[in-house]
Amino acid sequence: MLRLLLRRLRPLSRLRSLFSARSDRSFSGYVPGLPAARVRSTFLDFFREKHGHLLVPSSPVRPRGDPSLLFVNAGMNQFKPIFLGRADPRSEMASYRRVVNSQKCVRAGGKHNDLEDVGRDVYHHTFFEMLGNWSFGDYFKEEACSMAWSLLTEHYGIPADRLYVSYFSGDAESGLTADEETRQIWLDIGVPPKRLLPFGLKENFWEMGDTGPCGPCTEIHYDHVGGRDASSLVNTDGPDVVEIWNLVFMQYNRDVDRSLLLLPQFSVDTGMGLERLVSVLQGKQSNYDTDLFTPLLHAIHQRSGVGPYSGRTGADLGKVDTAYRVVADHIRTLSVCIADGVHPGMSGAELVLRRILRRAVRFCVEVLQAPRGTLANLVPTVTNILVNISLNDSGLNEYFVRTSGSVAWSLHRDLGFPLDLVDLMLEERGVRVDHQELDRLMAENQKVSVRSQVTLDVVSLAELHGAGVPHTDDSLKYRYTLDQDRYVFPACFATVLALYDGQTLVSEVTEGQRCGVILDQTCFYSEQGGQSHDQGYFTRDGLQDVLYPVESVIHAGGYVVHEVTAADSLKTGDQVQLHLDQAHRLSCMVKHTATHILNLALREVLGPSVQQRGSHVSADRLRFDFSVKGSLSVSQLQQVERCVNDIISANQIVHSQELPLHKARTIRGLRTVDEVYPDPVRVVSVGAPVSELLDDQTDRQTSVELCCGTHLLQTGSIQDLVIVSERQLVKGISRIVAVTGPDAARAREAGQVLSQNVDYLSNRLSGLAPTSLDSSQRFAKEVGVLSDAVDNTPIPQWQRRDLQSRLRTLQRTSNTAVRKLETREVSTYLTVLMKTVNQLSSASPHSHVMLLAHQRHSGKFLCACQVPKHLPSFQASDWAVAVCHLRGGSAGGSALVAKGTGNGSDISEALSWAKTFARQKIQL
């Protein structure tokens, strides 16, 4: 805390003069004409050229290895490994001290979700750019505040008397005092006390999540009106006084017990929305009136059937202006997301994007009366506007008959209909969904059991660094050899350097306690790069018969954490031997090398446009996601498999070499994915030494990738590869699942058996068509059972597609035969039934006769009836219709005779109703 106290004693008289000098400056000079591109470049140049910040490119909006996020929603997302102390010490990120960038952000799902507000006001967006500057253990509050004030008032020319500043007022319940240090810094800069406003936890204390780095923040707000005291309007969510910049001071860590500890390294994280800043600098109260949106709104109007955009909100007749804003916002989001590899789909971020697309289409067609294809035609305009950040059925006609939560949930879960559109469309009709029931159904759907991992927190990582605990040497994971077709893995003896109990570092754990173990060295592979972690166990010196099973292996900030439940006590300094599950490791090596070969085969068959979109390697199978226009054909699947198995049969050598990252990137044909790579980086190639590829300037077709995974030394150990599944996840992205070795052989055998079974059914159908209903139904059932087996048995996917096509033909043929025979049987039975009714009526001319009979195969009943001529008020057709309709059937006939069918095998209710109906008619 001494460092914090000393800062208060340094006067900032020079900055105080800045405030008074700038407050008198007019805001009508060059600033209102400043284009958005200049606003962005001025921000980046200010921090890069004047204050020595490193310019870091925007990361894609698809989060890198962060399952807690649907989209990148803040500038700090890509820097989370630094804040958490988990940045790979070999990566460029580990060297960052002060950086600046403009980050593409999407807030349309999860904790930060602005989707519902878009269109209703003039400043919410699902996509926006976040301008930010960061300090990682370099400068702190004083420098951050003075730089921010200098940029806004000197370089952008914003009048100081339009600005208000908020700071953290403290929170007694959390034991947090007011951030008086920040308050004093602003006073020294020259902000008048009446414009310096205290707020609580909600407004001015920022937290990354339930646990982790956090701290007080100070926000700068702008008054669009000016010439008044607007302090009472700050943080009231009004359009006239808006927050433009948030400066977060990361100085605490929130523990799992909600306690706060000072971080060993203080950091700064700032964020300023470009769209809102541009509206200030261009003198507009609406973001949509700036040059980030006006070309787009004009392009929308050219393609619409309504009048031009006029900026109305509350009095927006017909919601025309709302629709303009929705379409303009959503097409920006869609363009950026699709360019970054997120496509509309049925789950996660893809589902959110699908909702955005449907929402945009609905407003475009129903409100703006634009033709099909309008959204696609707007993309070039979006690209022209956003070029500086490196952008890489046309209507809904749903009819709601009920508004229960279960109906809304069914529409959403089963048909993908967005819940926000259900609400919106019903709201327009004065109807509301039962949200209590809907919330219950959603909660039930989201009940998933997630087992938490013992991962090091930022404080414990800092303690390890501070105590001089060296990073884990895990190089042994690569030191295996091949001896006469048998892989030999090295023995590994290690020393326990640290133990983590889930909350803090401890010197000892007792029997039954779950903990993270950090060793000086390990041969275990930690889960990264899409490959599952190794399995195995420890034994302790002097206690060789007690096993410590390793449940997971995690990499954090240069340390490998082995998660175990202690079978006996374990303390720092203990000597252990690591026992690797060699069969599991070898299976993962097989799948990982096969994944690289598959990547190459897909490019050779489908062309160089194929891009990897994700992969996962486990002991039992591999999964590979890639960009492609549509599902692969049977022929393409066969070609890919042949290409892979040719390389396997050739038993090519798998080479690996560690290189400086910049040198590795010079290799022609190198395949990478959107990840942060360490430096130096491991290069894996199949069939050609890495050294040859460095010097080779030809476009030779070989598999060469940056990869930290463990691989085979020769491809022959894969034995065989079979693609058992290939499907489109979303439009433009396919997923392949494949098996290898014995599993591949079993898949081929199963495919052969199923193929023979389909041949047998085909021969039966073509040889002699079934003549009885019983035999036809048995045949149809056999086809159905075999179809299920083909759908669900691991077999080659190309073969599955072929068999499915043949079985669909058999199913149609057998269903047609069943329907014909059922119709013939019904006709026969009805004829017999009608003759019996006639005979009974002849024997008793004054009787009202109805007969019901079960139909053996269909689960229906047959109905026939006849009534006397002397009672015109009682018609046979009415009687048959009443009885058959009672059970969901149909009937017809004349006044004297009628017949029909009803559903169900229990005819007691129908008989009872037939008697009741007849008595009522006879009494009339």
- 146: which residues sit within 8 A by CB, 6+ positions away? 12, 15, 185, 189
3-state DSSP assignment of residue 729: strand
Contact assessment for residue 135 and residue 52, using Cβ atoms and an 8 Å cutoff: no
Report the phi/psi class of residue 287: left, alpha or beta, with left for phi > 0 and alpha for psi in -120 to 50: alpha
Classify residue 607 by burial, with Cβ atoms within 10 Å: 0-12, 13-18, 19+. Answer: exposed
| Residue bearing tokens 């693609």 | 723
DSSP 615: E
C-beta neighbour count of 373 within 10 angstroms? 10
- Distance CA(104)–CA(338), nearest Å, equals 13
Contact assessment for residue 266 and residue 250, using Cβ atoms and an 8 Å cutoff: yes
**DSSP strand pairing (205-207 vs 486-488):** unpaired
C-beta neighbour count of 305 within 10 angstroms? 11
CA 311 centroid distance within chain: 34
Q: Three-state SS string across 333-357, please?
A: HHHHHHHCCCCCCCCHHHHHHHHHH
- Report the amino acid identity of residue 667: I
Q: Three-state SS string across 76-103, please?
A: CHHHHHHHCCCCCCCEHHHHCCEEEEEE
Task: Kindly state the tokens that stand for 342.
Answer: 């997120």
Please name every residue paired with 900 in a beta bridge, in sequence order, or none if there are none. 863, 891
C-beta neighbour count of 837 within 10 angstroms? 21
711 annotated to a ligand binding site: yes
From residue 502, alpha-carbon distances to 33, 497, 520 in Å are 55, 16, 20
What are φ and ψ of residue 656, in 5° steps?
-145, 145
3-state DSSP assignment of residue 914: helix
From residue 150, alpha-carbon distances to 43, 146, 268 in Å are 11, 6, 17
For residue 425, the surrounding DSSP H or E stretch is helix 419-427
- 164: which residues sit within 8 A by CB, 6+ positions away? 195, 196, 197, 220, 221, 222, 223, 230, 231, 234, 241
DSSP 48: I
- Distance CA(738)–CA(622), nearest Å, equals 5
Task: Kindly state the tokens that stand for 485.
Answer: 């077709």
- Distance CA(810)–CA(25), nearest Å, equals 83
> Which residue, among 807, 812, 818, 808, has the nearest Cα to 777 in the 3D structure?
818
Please name every residue paired with 118 in a beta bridge, in sequence order, or none if there are none. 121
Q: Three-state SS string across 136-205, please?
A: ECCCCHHHHHHHHHHHHHHHCCCCHHHEEEEEECCECCCCECCCHHHHHHHHHHCCCHHHEEEECHHHHE
- Report the amino acid identity of residue 107: R
Contact assessment for residue 106 and residue 127, using Cβ atoms and an 8 Å cutoff: yes
Contact assessment for residue 70 and residue 352, using Cβ atoms and an 8 Å cutoff: yes
CA 266 centroid distance within chain: 32
330 annotated to a ligand binding site: no
Q: Binding site for Zn(2+): what residues are annotated?
A: 592, 596, 707, 711
Q: Binding site: what residues are annotated?
A: 592, 596, 707, 711
